[in-house]
Amino acid sequence: MAGDRELVQIVDAALAEANRKAGAWLVCRLGCTECCIGPFPITQLDAVRLRQGLAELAACDPALAERVRQRARAAVEKMGSDYPGDLANGILDEGEEAEERFAALAEEEPCPALDPGTGRCDLYTARPITCRTFGPAIRSVSDALGVCELNFQGAGDDEIARCAVEFDAGELEADLLASLPPGQTIVAFALAK
């Protein structure tokens, strides 16, 4: 989707600025997988981007793409009937009960895109917006500021606030999502098919 490329550029520019401002406070690096463990909701736009990234990977490295698919299928199978959503399409249920069921999912399960041997994301360029924004002090205008607990060790709230970067994708993401089926899913379901 053409608009998705623009959205990713906006988010990645904000991320680059946040990384610059954070400097030594930021410990994110290849092999640090703290934020790659446990399922989390993603938008249908993220799911489309991940599937496109997997298709591109399959074109240049079919064996690696198949390993990613196998990890995704294994994660979906492991969740089984505990998945708080539609097992046929992966769409998460909404509401308080569904959120409680989601919170009870296996939190120690690595993301299927994560190479367990290297700690590298096999779909890094296609990663969800949440993956792009988690870690440094970055937020969209509609979200609260969240940073990885491994970053900013010893920094006070004022120091973190000085490093914070806010981005505004305007209505771009909402417009893109409006053209897709409603609901959220998880990385494993986006990649398992």
119-130: pLDDT as tens digits: 999 999 999 998
Q: Name the token pair of 27.
A: 């410990």
pLDDT at 24 over 80: yes
The residue with greater pLDDT, 109 or 47, is 47
Q: Where are the alpha helices (DSSP H) in the chain?
A: 2-22, 44-60, 62-79, 96-103, 129-133, 157-163, 172-178, 187-191
Instruction: Give backbone dihedrals phi and psi of 151, rounded to 5 degrees, phi first.
Output: -90, 160
pTM of the model: 0.91
pLDDT at 169 over 80: yes
Question: Rounded distance, CA 104 to CA 107, Å?
Answer: 8
Q: Where are the domains of the chain?
A: 2-191
What are 42's strand-pairing partners? 185
Helix (H) / strand (E) containing 130? helix 129-133
Task: Report which of 12, 190, 183, 52 is spatially closest to residue 111, judged by C-alpha positions.
Answer: 190
Question: Rounded distance, CA 42 to CA 186, Å?
Answer: 5
Question: Rounded distance, CA 118 to CA 122, Å?
Answer: 10
Per DSSP, the three-state class of 118 is: coil
**Model confidence over 29-63: pLDDT tens digits?**
888 888 899 999 999 999 999 999 999 999 999 99
- Tell me the CB-side half-sphere exposure of residue 95, using CA atoms within 13 A: 5
